[in-house]
């Protein structure tokens, strides 16, 4: 298969050289947060790094022009870019447009935060070790959607959330941090989701800080 990013936007190696010359990951980690909806994890990241000069949320990308998180970005004075997947003929063309925007912004790390589109293997390979995700379960258990319903149906006494590097298979990839959250007898999917979500809001900034402090060998920036 031809390399889509080469075909559409030029040579990989040239652009990678450009990335490494133009910034120092040690002095400031430049983040892009990718969303599709509500944006509460985006908000947690924005709040956590407001006064942190070593971590900067440079841009927020949404594939959905109606995502509530776009308003959160605007309220924090962060540039948000809608790259609407409906405007592209194929997944590869959408991913290439996202890739180009990330390169233009000299992004060191992508944080997926409720980003609901599957990314191509080519895009995932391109950003391997530089793209992380948060998932509302203790991976590798309960990959995919409707985690809280499935946790309750299985009668689990604990669930949790996980920050992990993104690998081609959905909700797989090296685990960075996890935290356990108790399941209570009276929980509904909604009450459990709310308890897990507040744990997510604490966990995601911690994982980004580990990367900024260069404490994770898995980070390939
Ligand atoms: C979170 O539960 C996250 O773990 C999952 O999608 C949800 C996004 O919520 N990947 P929000 O948009 O950050 O509020």
Q: What pLDDT digit, counting tens, does each position of 89-136 carry? A: 999 999 999 999 999 999 999 999 999 999 999 999 999 999 999 999
Confidence band for 26, pLDDT divided at 50, 70 and 90: low
pTM: 0.89
Q: How far is the CA of 150 from the centre of ligand 1 (A)?
A: 17
Ligand 1 is surrounded, with C-beta below 6 A, by 35, 37-41, 113-114, 134-136, 197, 200
Alpha helices in 23-146 (DSSP H): 40-48, 69-75, 91-104, 121-126
For 1-18+26-127, CATH gives: 3.40.50.170
- Average pLDDT over all residues of the chain: 90
Q: With pLDDT > 70 as the criterion, what percentage of the chain qualifies?
A: 88
Q: What's the CA gap between 84 and 132, in Å, rounded?
A: 21
1 CA to centre of ligand 1 in angstroms:
33
Q: How far apart are CA 86 and CA 184, in angstroms?
A: 41
- Check residue 23 and give its pLDDT: 41
pLDDT of residue 34: 98
Q: In the chain, list all ranges with CATH 3.40.50.170.
A: 1-18+26-127, 134-221
Query: Which architecture characterizes domain 134-221 according to CATH?
Result: 3-Layer(aba) Sandwich (3.40)
Active site residue 135: yes
Q: Which atom of ligand 1 is nearest to the CA of 40?
A: 14
Q: Which pLDDT value is given to residue 179?
A: 98
Residue nearest to atom 5 of ligand 1 (CA): 114
């Amino acid at each position: 298969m031809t390399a889509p990013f080469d075909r559409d936007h030029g040579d990989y190696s040239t652009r990678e050289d450009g990335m490494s010359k133009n910034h120092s990951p040690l002095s400031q980690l430049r983040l892009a947060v990718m969303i599709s909806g509500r944006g509460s994890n985006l908000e947690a990241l924005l709040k956590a790094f407001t006064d942190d000069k070593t971590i900067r949320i440079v841009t927020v990308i949404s594939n959905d022009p109606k995502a509530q998180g776009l308003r959160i970005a605007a309220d924090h004075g962060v540039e948000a870019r809608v790259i609407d997947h409906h405007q592209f003929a194929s997944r590869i063309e959408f991913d290439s447009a996202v890739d180009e925007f990330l390169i233009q912004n000299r992004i060191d790390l992508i944080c997926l935060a409720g980003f609901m589109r599957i990314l191509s293997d080519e895009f995932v390979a391109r950003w391997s070790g530089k793209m992380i995700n948060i998932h509302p379960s203790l991976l590798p258990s309960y990959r995919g959607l409707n985690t809280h319903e499935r946790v309750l149906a299985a009668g689990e006494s604990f669930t949790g959330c996980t920050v992990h590097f993104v690998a081609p298979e959905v909700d797989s990839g090296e685990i960075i941090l996890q935290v356990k959250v108790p399941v209570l007898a009276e929980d509904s999917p909604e009450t459990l989701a709310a308890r897990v979500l507040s744990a997510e809001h604490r966990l995601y900034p911690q994982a980004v800080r580990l990367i900024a402090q260069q404490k994770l060998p898995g980070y390939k920036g």
